[in-house]
Amino acid sequence: MSVVQSVDYVALAPVLVLALGGIVVLLVDVFADRGPALPGWLAFAVVAAAAAVLPASSGRTTLCSSSSPLSCGYTTDAAVTVALQGIVLGATAVVVLLAVSTVAQLRMPAGEFHFLLLASASGAVAVAGVRDLVSLIVVLELVSLPTFALVGLRRDDRKAGEAALKIFLFSVTSVAVTLYGVALLYGTTGTVDVLAMAAYADGNDPTPVAVAGLVMLLTVFAFKVAAVPFHAWAPDTYEGASVPVAAYLSVVSKTAGFAGLITVLAAFGAWSRVWAPVIALLAALTMLVGNIAALRQTRAVRLLAWSSIAQAGYVLVPLGAVVAGWTGADGVIEALVAYLAAYAAMNLGAFSVVAVVARRRPRVKLSDFDGLAWRSPWLGLSLALFLAALAGLPPGLIGLFVKVRVLAVPVATSAWWLAGVMAVATVIGLAYYLSFAARLFRRPQESGRPIRVARSSAVAVGVTLAATVALSVVPALALGLVDGL
């Protein structure tokens, strides 16, 4: 029996562009040595090139077995795959822009930084298209391994080293449990192919071994999206890392986790009565713990870290509310992708402004933002809009629209307790978002120097601001993202 697989390089083009582009950036930094800015702008060009070839890669399959043409290891024939890859590329581009000035200020090795960033992003893009569990674990590790180095790249910073060690230990533990889960599922179904597993689940009831394997498999995704109780690494890691890396972990790495989670849960949709209650419990705990813990924070990055945890809980809500025999329809995936698209814009926007302030105030306490709207009106007003959107309040209407869209799923499936928890968690979140925003408009006791904004950081703030405004004015850009592809 032949096991030769065909390779369609066009389908893999965005992944290959990022991976090969990262190598080029590293080599240029080694041999050209023209300062830290050049690798950053080259990395941005690489991400732009990957985004340019994304439409051509849509609707294709590759790594297909000649003995079973329908069994393909990688596909972009679903609109949700392209949408998730687009979110990853857009978010990575913003992170690269933020990193241009931060890398220079912190004196980090620019070539290594952007090489690691692009390598991780290539894995994040690949996650959305992978269709077998072994490859899925491999690309998830491709996302994770470079981030360990990115977090600890400031070798003279003890806090960065501790943060890198913490995320490494949590990751290794979750992957070990996940691999055991994959082994149990393989032993039960006789395959690691997603389509074959879906066919098995449709025709068979879950066995105790299969249930144990599926729950273990969910561990790596719970870690990736920082869902409670697998969240303990996130606050310290975000605070110990540079702000661009924290932004990357909060959006790109999280989106990759959700992409993989969608793939696995769709494969076992017939067993949703097994995993939906687990996801619902994770969603409820994540929303409540994230928002309650954020109330006590006094530093901006740490507050955004807990906010990011709570936001992950909102994204989990549609998956936790599905009914038995779920096939991936009923608007669940559409709601999830819409929330991720809006979250990427408004959360990266908040991190962009924090990164600007961090150039002058590295510890970025909340008190450092007092009177920001008076000292630098466009930065202060931009941050106020991003916080309003995260809270789901006008004028950041996109945050409200996607929360309502997500909330509609548990309401439609009569999961009233989950809808109630989400409503309570949203109200709790208003307290710290509004408190943070109020600081921006406090009249300063004395006039401070205007904040100097690097060109690349200004572009990052401007792009995220434009995206948040556009989504608030035309919410169909996010709410209809999957249907429009």
Which tens digit of pLDDT belongs to each residue from 56-98? 988 888 877 655 545 778 888 778 889 999 999 999 999 999 9
At 321, the pLDDT band (50, 70, 90 cuts) reads confident
| Domain positions in the chain | 5-479
Quote the pLDDT of residue 95.
96
Average pLDDT over residues 382-392: 94
Query: Burial of 9 by CB count in 10 Å (0-12 exposed, 13-18 middle, 19+ buried)?
Result: exposed
Quote the pLDDT of residue 345.
95
d(C-alpha 409, C-alpha 322), whole Å: 8
d(C-alpha 143, C-alpha 257), whole Å: 9
At 175, the pLDDT band (50, 70, 90 cuts) reads confident
Under DSSP, the state recorded for 441 is T
Q: What is the DSSP string of 286-309?
A: HHHHHHHHHTT--BHHHHHHHHHH
Among 45-59, 127-141, 193-207, 434-448, the least confident range: 434-448
Percent of the chain with pLDDT over 70: 94
At residue 220, what is the residue type?
V
Quote the pLDDT of residue 108.
86
Q: pLDDT tens digits for 265-307?
A: 988 888 888 888 999 999 999 999 999 999 999 999 999 999 9
Q: Is the pLDDT of residue 354 over 80?
A: yes
Under DSSP, the state recorded for 6 is E
Q: pLDDT tens digits for 214-265?
A: 989 888 899 889 999 988 889 999 998 999 999 999 999 999 999 999 999 9
Can you state the angle between helices 397-412 and 377-391, rounded to 10 degrees? Answer: 10
Question: What DSSP element (H or E) covers 5?
Answer: strand 5-6
Greater confidence (440 vs 107) lies with: 440
d(C-alpha 287, C-alpha 228), whole Å: 9
- In this prediction the pTM is 0.94
- CB-CB neighbours of 283 under 10 Å: 28
Quote the pLDDT of residue 1.
43
Quote the pLDDT of residue 8.
80
Average pLDDT over residues 324-344: 80
Q: Is the pLDDT of residue 327 over 80?
A: no
Q: Is the pLDDT of residue 138 over 60?
A: yes
